[in-house]
Amino acid sequence: MKFHLAPYLLMISLFLTPLAVQAQDPYLQSEDQTAEEIAIALTSSYQAELGMTVEQGNKFRQKVEEFQIRRQEINQMDRPVRERMNLMKKLSRQENAEMANILTRPQLRAYKQLKKELQPEQVTVN
């Protein structure tokens, strides 16, 4: 008898998705949340929608964490909001290009659509 894990993994990730989506809401996000915690929550949300393999998920999480750290650095810059927003847009394009090395073409298309909801381009007003 074969035991298929995919349906169980899908169900688990679907139950965790609402928590992960809330974690990315800028109004619900706590100031002390680390880049790693954000990356884990985001990866969980994306995995449920994109159907990534375990290997893709690990690479994806590392890449999200790397870019989350860079987003936090941009937000902490003492620069005008417009300049920081331009930097965020450029960073987002770089992230998309990096994700193209991890995801399949259909996954990348879906990722770009989901990213608008899960990771909107925004800066904090200091």
Mean pLDDT per 10-residue segment, the chain (126 residues): 53 48 43 85 94 96 96 92 94 97 97 92 70
Distance CA 121, CA 109 (A): 18
- For residue 122, the model assigns a pLDDT of 75
Domain locations along the chain? 7-118
Q: Which of 120, 89, 99, 121 is nearest to 50 (CA)?
A: 99
Rounded to whole angstroms, what are the CA distances from 86 to 75, 83, 100, 121? 12, 5, 22, 10
- For residue 49, the model assigns a pLDDT of 93
Note the pTM of the prediction, 2 decimals: 0.71
